[in-house]
Every structure is written in C-alpha cells, then in structure tokens.
Chains A and B, each alone.
Chain A
Amino acid sequence: MSKSEKKMMRATIPEEEYMFPGTVDCQGCGAAYAMRLALKALGPQTMVVIPACCWSIIAGPFPTSALKMPIYHTAFETAAAVASGLKAGLNIRERDATVLAWAGDGGTFDIGVQALSAAAERDEDIIYVCYDNEAYMNTGIQRSSATPWGAWTTTTPRKHPKDRPKKNMMEIMAAHKIPYVASATVGHPEDFVRKLKKAKEIRGTRFFHVLATCPTGWRSPPELMLELPRLAVETRVFPLYEIENGVYSINRKPKQNIPVAEYLKVQGRFRHLTDQQIQYIQDHVDETWELLLKKEKLGRLF
C-alpha cells in the first residue's frame, strides 16, 4: 500500500464512533469489526435489528448495550420481517431513519431465508447485512449452509467433512431483482464503507454478504482477522462484486493466480484436506470465477 493510498483510506473511514468498547466478542472478531465499520458508514440515524446470532451476545449481556443506536433483538428467523415492520412504523411517524437488519449466516442462509425472501419480494426499504462466518459460531461451530465444501465443524468432523458446496446467497438475492446486492469483506474496510454509503442512498431492499473472519471457528490466529478475507479475495474464493439493478461489476480482479491452498492452509478447519481435495476446491473456484466474469460481460441481466 502506497502512502497516498493510506491517506485516502484514513479519509474515507468516518471518525465518529458508534460502537462502544466492552463488547463480549472473541479476540480478533470479524463480526464486531464489521459492525463498527457499518455504523460509521450509516451514521446516527440508524436502527439495528439483530436476530439470534453472535451479535445477540456481542451487543452485551443484559443489562448492557454496546451501540449508540436503538437495537431490536428478535427471534432467529425474523430479522427481515421485523426490519420491514420497523420501517413501516417509521414511515407512519414520518421519521427518516435507515433500518439495518444484521444477521449471521445461520439467520440468513438457513433459518431466516423465508422472511428475507419475502421482504425482498415486497422490496422493503431496508438494508440487510449478512455477516458470514461460515458456521453457527455462537452455539459451538455447527455446520450451516454457508460452510464451504470440505470444512471441519463440530457436526462435520474431520472424517466426514462437509460434502456440499456453499450456498450462493448473492445469486439467490439477485434473483429477487432487488436494486442492490453486494459482497464485501472485513479485510477491505474502505470498500465496505463505500458500498454501504452508496446503499444508504438507494431505496428498496439492499443486501450485503460480508465475509467476517471467526478465529475461534476457523481455527486461525486472531491477528490474521484482516489477512484471511484478503486472501479469500485474492485466491477468488470470495469474489468482491456488486449487482446494481441487474448489472454485475467485479470490484477486484486479482492479477496473480494465487492457488486456493494459500488460503486453506492458514486455517485449522481445512487442515485435514488432501491434495486431491484441494484440487477439487480449486476447480470449483475457477469455474465460479469464470461464470462471474461472463455475467459481468453480459451487461444488464434483469
């Protein structure tokens, strides 16, 4: 990173702090960091809806609360439904505020997908952020449909690792024809903040898929919280792209061909993989990347 780039980055991250310290997340938690950035980007006129996920506890065990804004803690499957209701209530009272639904991958990919799909179909005016740590980390690292192929979790032990690929939530959300769908990671803070600021100005359902490192569940050192998502982007495991009114644009196209093994070997949850299995993952990643490049070329898709 050059000096001018650093100066720019400092300028794009707003200074005001909306998340207080004293949160009870693990060391090097990507989810906590994602929230800190998100609130900086969205500003004080925000209401947060949190279903059951890591953030239910990170926001503070009763009677503490870590955010400057109102939080509504709700049931696992209802994040999008509650957010829709809140927005409707705010509209009746003629108050202008952004409603942010903040759910984990379990509450988005598995349990909350019905409410989310319904809200997206109605094109409710909410921002839905899924911070994806690729398993049910809060309850003890159980497999979710966001867990990647071959990963270890407590319910997919090393002898029987996960044998199904990760659900492509971005495509599912894009298929609802909502105005804005974007992927982001905690390793690219300026990109995440830029996308959130852009989304704030759009009306309708806006969906974010944010890769958030979980050192506890990924069995990785906490200081690599930022490096791992960056590696995921560089190895094309997790492409950074946005879909705006049906137009795909890839935000980062890695120039070098870094093999996925670089990303996998840092994490204990992939330690058991054989060379053959790593090759399988590589092939799958290449295939998905090619498909994405083609989609970008096609222009407006809906």
Chain B
Amino acid sequence: MKEKGWKECLWGGLIVDAGNSVLYKTGDWRSQKPIRDEKKCTDCLQCWIMCPDAAIKVKDGKVVGIDYDYCKGCGICSKVCPFDAIEMKEEGEQ
C-alpha cells in the first residue's frame, strides 16, 4: 500500500473511502492455516457467523471459500465447525 504525503491528506485527517482497510492484507500474520473440506461442509454457516475478521466468503447462503488474504489463522472456524470440515494446518505444510 502506497502511503500518502502530507500534501495529499485531507484537512482534519479525514478518510473519505469507507472500507479501504481491505488494502491492508492481514493474511501474512498467519501461522496456522484453515483448510476446508468441501465434502464435509454442509453450509450451516457457523464459521461465517463466528469469524471475527469476516474472512469466510459466502455466496447465496453457501460457503464458497476462505479469504486467505485476510484470515489471521485464529482457528475459531475450526473450533466451531460441528462437522470437523475445517482443519488447522501449519502454514507452508501443504
């Protein structure tokens, strides 16, 4: 992410683009990586409800994947999954 110089900043430190935090990829903080098993997944969306980073991608009420750009690897999705469809693996293992 390119940082702005002081001349480009707005008065009062205003930020006018809501949600531009997506430019900051927090995924590289991760040491444990969640791997989702599509066969076991029943789309109960427990992981989506409980994810503190909104990193579970959902489309039309179905889980379509995990956003590894932002997942910090806290392991909550793996913990709450009632069907053990998400497994935590050491980053770089696979």
Q: Report if A and B associate in a common complex.
A: yes
Stretch at the interface among A30-38, A136-144, A263-271: A30-38
Asked if A13 lies at the interface with its beta carbon under 8 angstroms from chain B, I say yes
Answer whether A22 and B25 are a contact pair too, CB < 8 Å, given A63-B4, A65-B15. Answer: yes
Among candidates B15, B44, B54, residue contacting A19 with C-beta atoms closer than 8 Å: B54
Structural contact, B73 and A226, CB atoms closer than 8 A:
no
Structural contact, A20 and B22, CB atoms closer than 8 A:
yes
Residues on B with C-beta less than 8 A from A65 are 15, 17-21
| Per-residue interface assignment for chain A, residues 217 to 258, with 1 indicating a CB less than 8 Å from any chain B CB and 0 otherwise | 000011111110000000000000000000000000000000
List residues of B (1-48) whose CB comes within 8 Å of A's CBs. 1, 4, 9, 13, 15, 17-26, 29, 44-46
Answer whether A27 and B74 are a contact pair too, CB < 8 Å, given A13-B49, A62-B13, A63-B4. Answer: yes
The B interface is mostly helix, strand or loop, or mixed, namely loop
List residues of A (143-175) whose CB comes within 8 Å of B's CBs. none
Asked if A24 lies at the interface with its beta carbon under 8 angstroms from chain B, I say yes
Structural contact, B52 and A36, CB atoms closer than 8 A:
yes
Q: In the assembly, what is the distance between CA of A61 and CA of B23, in Å? A: 11
Structural contact, A20 and B79, CB atoms closer than 8 A:
no
Asked if B80 lies at the interface with its beta carbon under 8 angstroms from chain A, I say yes
List residues of A (1-22) whose CB comes within 8 Å of B's CBs. 1, 6, 9-10, 13, 15, 17, 19-22
Residues on A with C-beta less than 8 A from B91 are none
- What are 29 sample pairs from A and B whose C-beta atoms fall under 8 A apart? A1-B82, A20-B19, A21-B22, A21-B26, A21-B54, A21-B55, A21-B67, A21-B70, A22-B22, A23-B26, A23-B53, A25-B52, A25-B53, A26-B72, A30-B52, A36-B54, A63-B13, A63-B20, A65-B15, A65-B19, A65-B20, A67-B18, A67-B19, A70-B18, A223-B78, A223-B79, A226-B76, A226-B80, A227-B79
Structural contact, B76 and A222, CB atoms closer than 8 A:
yes
Among candidates B15, B50, B54, B67, residue contacting A189 with C-beta atoms closer than 8 Å: B50
Closest chain B CB from A23 CB (angstroms): 6
Residues on A with C-beta less than 8 A from B4 are 63
Q: In the assembly, what is the distance between CA of A215 and CA of B79, in Å? A: 15
Structural contact, A24 and B26, CB atoms closer than 8 A:
yes
Structural contact, A222 and B13, CB atoms closer than 8 A:
no
The count of residues in chain A whose C-beta lies closer than 8 Å to any C-beta of chain B is 43
Residues of chain A having any CB pair with chain B under 8 Å: 1, 6, 9-10, 13, 15, 17, 19-30, 32-33, 36, 59-70, 189, 215, 221-227
- The 10 A-B pairs with the shortest beta carbon distances in the complex, nearest first, are A21-B70, A223-B75, A22-B21, A33-B52, A28-B74, A66-B21, A27-B74, A222-B74, A20-B19, A22-B24
Instruction: Work out how many contacts link A and B, with CB atoms closer than 8 A.
Output: 111
In the complex formed, the residue of A with least CB distance to B49 is: A13
Q: In the assembly, what is the distance between CA of A153 and CA of B69, in Å? A: 33
In the complex formed, the residue of B with least CB distance to A22 is: B21
Structural contact, B20 and A9, CB atoms closer than 8 A:
no
Answer whether A27 and B18 are a contact pair too, CB < 8 Å, given A6-B46, A13-B49, A223-B79. Answer: no
Q: In the assembly, what is the distance between CA of A234 and CA of B4, in Å? A: 49
Q: In the assembly, what is the distance between CA of A68 and CA of B19, in Å? A: 6
In the complex formed, the residue of A with least CB distance to B80 is: A226
Q: In the assembly, what is the distance between CA of A64 and CA of B22, in Å? A: 8
Q: In the assembly, what is the distance between CA of A225 and CA of B67, in Å? A: 20
Q: In the assembly, what is the distance between CA of A159 and CA of B46, in Å? A: 41
Structural contact, B15 and A10, CB atoms closer than 8 A:
no
Residues on A with C-beta less than 8 A from B25 are 22
Among candidates B15, B22, B53, B72, residue contacting A63 with C-beta atoms closer than 8 Å: B15
List residues of B (48-71) whose CB comes within 8 Å of A's CBs. 49-55, 58, 67, 69-70
Structural contact, A60 and B45, CB atoms closer than 8 A:
no
